[in-house]
Structure 1
Amino acid sequence: MTSDGTRPNTAPSLYPELDEGALAGVVQALRTGDTSTLGPARAAEVAETRQVATFLDGVRVPAGEGVELDAALWLHNGDGPHPLIVMPSPWAKQGWLVYTIQAMRFARRGYHVLAYTARGFGESGGEVEVAGEKDIADGIAALDHLVSRAGGPEAVGRIGFLGDSYGSGISQLVAAEERRVDAVVALSTWGDLGEAFYENNTRHVAAVKTLLNAASTARLSERTQRAFDDVLANENVEETLVWAAERSPYHRVDKLNSRAVPVFFAQAWHETLFPGNQTLKTFNALSGPKRLLWSIGDHSGPEMTGILGLPNRVWEEAHSWFDQHLLETDGDEARAAAFDSESGARDQVVSEVMWGRALESRPTWHAATGTPERFYLTGPPEDGKDGGLLDKPTNGWHTTFTTGTDTPATVADQILLTGYAELAGLPKVYRTGRIDRAAAGVWTSAPLPSRHQLRGVPRLRVTLAPSEPDATFVAYLFDVDALGFARIITHAPYTVLGATPHTPAGADIALQVTGYDVRAGHRLMLVLDSVDPFYGDANTNPGTLTITSPDEEPSYLELPLS
């Protein structure tokens, strides 16, 4: 099902650095044993896998109503029982192929593995339902198929589901509904799909367009296409939120908690498809064993080198998580404790800090979060355009800017690709002097006397008065050096609907979670403007937005500082 204007003629990938040909070559070598086209390390890996496991591709998993799912199997040859891993595919035409190298590695460690292509993609039948009830049923059918091929229930051990991106949401939802699932790994995932599509009443249009583009060769159900079209057209919002809630692990977290299912998350700080706060909300709602890795980059970027077969921290942790929760310890407390020690599993949160890349490990999210410190917004001086960020409120001022004009303050140059540049140590540089102060409000701190370590969710409290009933702005927090060059720390959009024009009203905004070190001598800069290509705005242009700071409710930026 397609709609005019929403499906492209090309098929951009959520995995821009994926070498599909190289993975296909590994599959061919697994199938035939001919490793002559592979490099020495990969050839040795394939040969070792073939010694300990039987590989089968072209597997068809019956999923009901005549639908079959394309799959591949790695069945360990040693004496069992063996634990099982089911891997639903990402939102990609390559389907299960993405998991080829990691599935081999799980198989060599003693697991039976089934990786399958989600319905509507690639060689699988059916239509894309975006982790709907049919996708949950497909995951259970894939598990049943793996149990059968592994010798039946008495011949298998504990069971895990692992997914990257799309497959991660499906994995969580299957675990919530299927009592046989003992552990989950969810990479670049979502917890609340509604919040990922509509953040603070603001539509994530770039994310939805990217998902549509990446699925241009897939078969979307009519309901799926309508949901995406509605987001882009700003129609049927409440109906879409209900649709999204049914597909959100956060809304089934009680079922995961009832069995204390261990869940491992890995997320990028600058995730543009499924922003971090909604995943963090799900993580914090879980009461069973859990672990959360934060990394530099954007969607699926931090785990990409592992998909390509290179050393990768995220995948190494995923293996340790399943070893800890799926491999049998036969009551050996010393062996179980070794898993804890080797994987750092006693700490729930590990953060890769921007931009020094240091890793910080903390026992809980609360322990990982800094102490809130307020920076109060002030009006500009008589001879200046920018307001300040001070330790005490200065009220009675106002700053007004026009809506409808974009400025150099943006989330990123390109969805996904800017994140890959960050991974390579090349974060986007912003020229703050080029931000038009007529189209943006800007507040800057004095040079910081010491390094400021931001750990957690910054919050912005402002009083605003739009000239129209509906208005959108985006808040950006920058780290600015002495020359005025900046890097983005975090941001968040905000839309007010049905306001009384020119009447002040308060807004409390959670910016996206961050782990960032600002050097001594640098400044913090808060920018508010009304247009960003990543978001759909509600502004009626031309219009204005006025920011004020009443005595009774001063405007401030609250930063979690360690």
Structure 2
Amino acid sequence: MTPAARTTPVSLYPELDATALGAFVTALECGDVTGLAPARAAEAARMRGVAVFTRGKVTGAEGKLLDAALWRHTGAGPRPAVVMPAPWSGLGWLAYAVQATLFAARGYDVLAYSARGFAGSEGQADMAGPLDVADGRRALDHLLARAAGPVTRIGFLGTSYGSGIAQLVAAHDTRVDAVVALSTWGDLGEVLYENSTRRTAAVRALLGTAAKARLSPQTRSVLAAVLAGEDLRGTERWAEVRSPFTHIKELNRRRLPVYFAHAWHETLFPPNQTLRMFDELTGPKRLALSVGDHAGPEAPGLLGLPNRIWTDAHRWFDHHLKGEDDGIGSEGQVLAEVMWSTALEPRPTWAAMTGQVRRLYLADGGELTDAPRAGWTSTVLCGLDTPATVADTVVASGYAELAGRPRTYPLDALDRTVTAVWSAGPAAETVRLRGTPRLRVTYRAADPCSGFVAYLLDTAPDGTARLITHAPFTAPASPPDSLISADIDLHATAYDLPATHRLTLVITAEDPFYAPQNHPRSTLSLTSPEPTPSYVDIPLG
């Protein structure tokens, strides 16, 4: 399979059917439920009994007309409201048709709209820039102007692209009282560059799935610069204003309630940057972490199927916008789904996920040991692909994980000339990894720019391995032939390593998910100096 095939999904929402959603919307308008499943027909009828659905346009920033839909209660009584900026998809607001209807049936006025440059909205996609923030505020103005009765409290909800816009609007508009952000980002710069490594597969996926969108020249220029490895500082400045983390002081000043949902093996928006955002929030907050990839865990809810993430999103708004005592405020800040048991573990805080840390040292002979051993060298040849990869396909690989079919890696098939491998002894009992593993490794590179990708694997007695977590690293400017110390967090995880299985650390110079960091045929010489030994810290629950 070629790198291009691995990294170019057809859609970020392959399960959504525009025709079926269009039929559902027609039923909302005129009551004709022909062809709808019984559950969808009942939802349409329930909504039509309490509210009116209309399509229309919102006048956004610069006078651009945004495609939108409004679910409006006709009674004069007070009620809460929800605004839903659409995801990075040609479906636009249609992706929210079912969920917006469910909110309306529960007593909310709802406005869903397509972001500028997408679907039927005018303008050019600003990648959650100032124009998108202004559009979100105008969308709220539009809803308030058409509400039949007083609006009590207001929530912004989005998945993927809409989730970033929702956070940014909330940071800039004091009328917003609560946020739900699913499959979201906190630091857009880290979405594009992780540990100084260009996340080229993610960028290509964003461009590919926006093929029919109208991206602004600046957005196209920045994404092209990431692919080309140019203008890092300009990209950082561009991303900073589009990062909710930049505006966290305003969110904290108002103690805004925020609900996040994220996937452990997220390939578009790496989880650690969202966790950093979550950890810094000081108001009421909740985080759901699940098996799968971008938008996959909450996707069934967009279809109207039972889904705990959307159920909790409703409960979050019911509690913080309607004042209902539904228990969500006392259930702890974190709910983690464990790979691969799918057990749900609540925790009072993110820090409480980890009870202790076990340090395993990289040693000669390919061992992970409890005591440091210095003086060894393991050399990795650069420029060659290996079976060790982050994912076969951006986003789509996560659907296999959701179905209980995580990818397996034949450990014996890893060519030791292009990979360095260390394994611990067989586990005597189940090892509960909970939290953020950390890697420190020292290496020597002949070239001024170098890097690697590290994978933490679960290796079964038969030699097959599954990915627990990973992270890239790049040293963009080091003196040639110098020792480089990499000290990085691997992506956070909740993973049960079964008894008799081994923890395995693999380091390679190349992964098609990331831009090449090394010159072909050059080498990385991994080592463990006595003053600063190489190790991996394993967080245990």
Query: Which of 386, 404, 409 is the equivalent residue of 1:430?
Result: 409
**Does the aligned pair in 2 maintain the 1:370–1:456 contact within 8 Å?**
no
**Does the aligned pair in 2 maintain the 1:495–1:537 contact within 8 Å?**
no
Worse-matched range after superposition: 421-430 or 10-19: 10-19
Structure 2: gaps spanning 5 or more residues:
none
Structure 1: gaps spanning 5 or more residues:
1-5, 330-335, 381-386
Aligned length: 535
Query: Which of 474, 497, 506 is the equivalent residue of 1:518?
Result: 497
> 1:126-525 residue pairs with structure 2 within 5 A?
126-151=123-148, 155-327=150-322, 329=323, 336=324, 338-339=325-326, 341=327, 343=328, 345-380=330-365, 387-525=366-504
Once residues 549 and 561 of structure 1 are traced to their aligned partners in structure 2, the CA distance between those partners, rounded to angstroms, is 24
Alpha-carbon shift at residue 64 of structure 1 (Å): 3.6
Once residues 499 and 458 of structure 2 are traced to their aligned partners in structure 1, the CA distance between those partners, rounded to angstroms, is 11
Give deviations 1:417-436, integer Å, cap 9, x for gaps: 11000000100011111110
Q: Secondary structure at the match of 2:208?
A: helix
Give deviations 1:150-191, integer Å, cap 9, x for gaps: 047xx1110000000000000000000000000000000000
Once residues 561 and 207 of structure 1 are traced to their aligned partners in structure 2, the CA distance between those partners, rounded to angstroms, is 30
- State yes or no: 1:94 paired with 2:73: no
**Does the aligned pair in 2 maintain the 1:76–1:108 contact within 8 Å?**
no
Equivalent position amino acid for 1:309 in 2: G
Once residues 143 and 479 of structure 2 are traced to their aligned partners in structure 1, the CA distance between those partners, rounded to angstroms, is 59
What TM-score comes out, normalization by structure 2 length? Answer: 0.97
How high is the sequence identity, in percent, across the aligned residues?
55
Q: Secondary structure at the match of 1:252?
A: helix
Alpha-carbon shift at residue 345 of structure 1 (Å): 4.1
Q: Secondary structure at the match of 1:65?
A: helix
Equivalent position amino acid for 2:336 in 1: S
Give deviations 1:420-460, integer Å, cap 9, x for gaps: 00000100011111110000110011101111111111000
**Does the aligned pair in 1 maintain the 2:89–2:118 contact within 8 Å?**
yes
**Does the aligned pair in 1 maintain the 2:296–2:398 contact within 8 Å?**
yes
Once residues 78 and 295 of structure 1 are traced to their aligned partners in structure 2, the CA distance between those partners, rounded to angstroms, is 39
Alpha-carbon shift at residue 299 of structure 1 (Å): 0.3
Equivalent position amino acid for 1:235 in 2: E
Alpha-carbon shift at residue 77 of structure 1 (Å): 3.3
Give deviations 1:268-299, integer Å, cap 9, x for gaps: 00000001000000001100000000000000
Equivalent position amino acid for 1:369 in 2: T
Once residues 517 and 310 of structure 1 are traced to their aligned partners in structure 2, the CA distance between those partners, rounded to angstroms, is 28
Q: Secondary structure at the match of 1:494?
A: strand
Once residues 39 and 17 of structure 1 are traced to their aligned partners in structure 2, the CA distance between those partners, rounded to angstroms, is 16
Alpha-carbon shift at residue 344 of structure 1 (Å): 5.7
Once residues 296 and 268 of structure 2 are traced to their aligned partners in structure 1, the CA distance between those partners, rounded to angstroms, is 12
Change in 2 beyond 3 A, CA 1:91/1:475: same
Once residues 350 and 477 of structure 2 are traced to their aligned partners in structure 1, the CA distance between those partners, rounded to angstroms, is 36
Alpha-carbon shift at residue 76 of structure 1 (Å): 2.0
Q: Secondary structure at the match of 2:143?
A: helix
**Does the aligned pair in 2 maintain the 1:11–1:217 contact within 8 Å?**
no
Once residues 139 and 176 of structure 1 are traced to their aligned partners in structure 2, the CA distance between those partners, rounded to angstroms, is 11
Give deviations 1:199-228, integer Å, cap 9, x for gaps: 011000000000001111011111000000
Give deviations 1:70-106, integer Å, cap 9, x for gaps: 0000012345211010000000010000000000110
Q: Name the Cα RMSD after superposition.
A: 1.3
Alpha-carbon shift at residue 37 of structure 1 (Å): 1.3
Alpha-carbon shift at residue 500 of structure 1 (Å): 2.6
Change in 2 beyond 3 A, CA 1:344/1:255: closer
Alpha-carbon shift at residue 36 of structure 1 (Å): 1.8
Once residues 402 and 379 of structure 2 are traced to their aligned partners in structure 1, the CA distance between those partners, rounded to angstroms, is 37
**Does the aligned pair in 2 maintain the 1:370–1:454 contact within 8 Å?**
no
Give deviations 1:325-354, integer Å, cap 9, x for gaps: 000x4xxxxxx5x32x2x364400000000
Q: Which residue of 2 aligns with 1:333?
A: none
Equivalent position amino acid for 1:29 in 2: A
